[in-house]
Amino acid sequence: MFRSLLPRLREKSVAARRPASMADLMEDFWREPFGALPALFKDMEYPAVDVSEADGVVTVKAELPGLEPGDVELSVENDALVLRGEKKFADEEKKDDYHRIERSYGAFSRVIPLPGKVREAEAKARFDKGVLVVTLPRDAAEAARKITIES
């Protein structure tokens, strides 16, 4: 669109590998409108988790497809659940020529803040179809207390 209107300016910015004007920014946007989106997601943590609480029990669900219970280590440290583990690359066939590998491999660690003190000794964890489910009972002594306001 703008390339035909401002060819010299566009040539300069292409040579410099950066936009030189607002016209270049618009050209880049129209060519690839969602090109900046991958940068928004680069800091997402692994594994993805859901944290919920009901009836005094905190439940953490973590997506860990392809892992076994022995591949994951759990601990509670400083009012946070710590998940550690390693997803190993299973390259059994040497003749495969990969063109693209998007699945992640390697060691991971995730610290999930808990919404209060929990009774660590009563915590339970289980795998269910690639999802790790950890249940942590809240400590009743540390429950939130209501403060009345005097007038």
Q: State what percent of residues in the chain have pLDDT above 70.
A: 61
Would you say the C-alpha torsion 91, 95, 96, 99 has a positive or negative sign?
Answer: positive
Write the single-letter amino acid at 83: L
Per-residue pLDDT of 35-91, as tens digits, reads 655 555 555 577 889 999 998 899 999 999 888 888 899 999 988 999 999 887 765
Instruction: Decide which of 136 and 33 is more confident.
Output: 136
CATH class held by domain 49-141 = mainly beta
What is the structure's pLDDT at 52?
93
Write the single-letter amino acid at 22: M
What is the structure's pLDDT at 35?
63
- Please provide the distance, in angstroms rounded to a whole number, between the alpha carbons at the two ends of the chain: 67
**pTM recorded for the entire structure:** 0.61
Residue ranges per structural domain of the chain: 2-40, 49-141
